[in-house]
Amino acid sequence: MDERLSMDHRLWNAGAVSAHVADVGRTLASIGAVDWLVIDNYGLDAGFESPCRNFVRHVAVIDDLANREHDATLLVDQNLFQDADERYRALLPVNCLTLLGPRYALLREEFRAQREARVERIAPSGALNVLAFFGGGDNSNETEKFLLGWRDSVDGNLSADVVVGGGNPKIDRLRSLAATMQHVRIHHQTLEMASLMAGSDYAFGASGIANWERLCLGLNASVVCVAENQVQPARALAQEGLIDYIGSADETSPSTYAQALHRLKANPTDYLRHAERLMNYVDGLGARRVARAILNRASQGRGTRSFIHFGT
């Protein structure tokens, strides 16, 4: 796999862990009583979490690798795995509450709010609108690959909204390229992702949290993995028929996207007919379920119900 896709999941060394535990302790001491510390970092495990329990009553962990032990009160893994329970069985305390699967997808409220508008668009007529977004930085340059594939394959039957993240250094080049094409609109660092998804008939994009956003809105997608940790979850979704997995970023080219666009044009109903099924997997209420679980656990004892997040 291309080095751009690799992600360093090595645990922090003992010195770094000790320094950060001390820093967390000082921070929490300055705040006062805190019930929950939320940890979202692939480099941390029970070696960090256990000493942090000296400062907080509960530790919540967000993970999807299932490759290290945790000392947690609660763990969230929103990915779809057939062996979800078994993956963490030997890695958690026996009393740890596990919230596993897309039912607990941590989505912003606007995705739930757009579901009604999306239902009205499940059976579109006329030209189809495609949404493309490959993450904030797009280090593997998927956006340009997509646009070149679009240029080589699309006629007037499709239009596209292409979202370019604020961390993408090629925005000027992408704008210039899109300006040579009809029916292509560039959106730079937009805050309207939910409404753009609701107004689209199909998507091309990166794996990750965007999978759950698209499923919540019943938006079928051709998905590329731009990080190593995305591959296994993407393959699991493809096996369930929930996405069209087109490979990792080191395997894609403009022709990859051109071929996928040709398939979409040739058989649009094959890609659009499963929208309601996708929406059944992710209802947009996952964040509320996680919050309710946290508050229910906190209510079992006294506390201020304060939260601190420690992540990447």
Tell me: is residue 144 an annotated ligand-binding position: no
Strand, helix or coil for residue 203: strand
124/139 Cα distance (integer angstroms): 33
Tell me: is residue 103 an annotated ligand-binding position: no
For 78-93, b where at least 16 C-beta lie within 10 A, e where not — what string? bbbbeeeeebbeebbe
Q: 173: alpha, beta or left, given left = phi > 0 and alpha = psi -120 to 50?
A: alpha
308/288 Cα distance (integer angstroms): 18
DSSP letter at 11? P
Torsion of CA 197, 201, 206, 212, to 10 degrees: 60
- H helix runs in the chain, sequence order: 14-31, 46-52, 84-88, 109-113, 115-119, 142-153, 171-178, 193-198, 209-216, 231-239, 254-266, 268-272, 275-281, 286-298
Phi, psi of 210 (to 5 degrees): -60, -25
Q: Which residues contact 115 (CB under 8 A, 6 or more apart)?
A: 198, 216, 217, 218, 279, 283, 284
Q: What sign results for the dihedral spanned by CA atoms 13, 19, 25, 30? A: negative
35/24 Cα distance (integer angstroms): 14
Least Cα distance to 205 among 236, 241, 160 occurs for 160
| Annotated binding-site residue numbers for substrate | 108, 213
| Annotated binding-site residue numbers | 108, 213
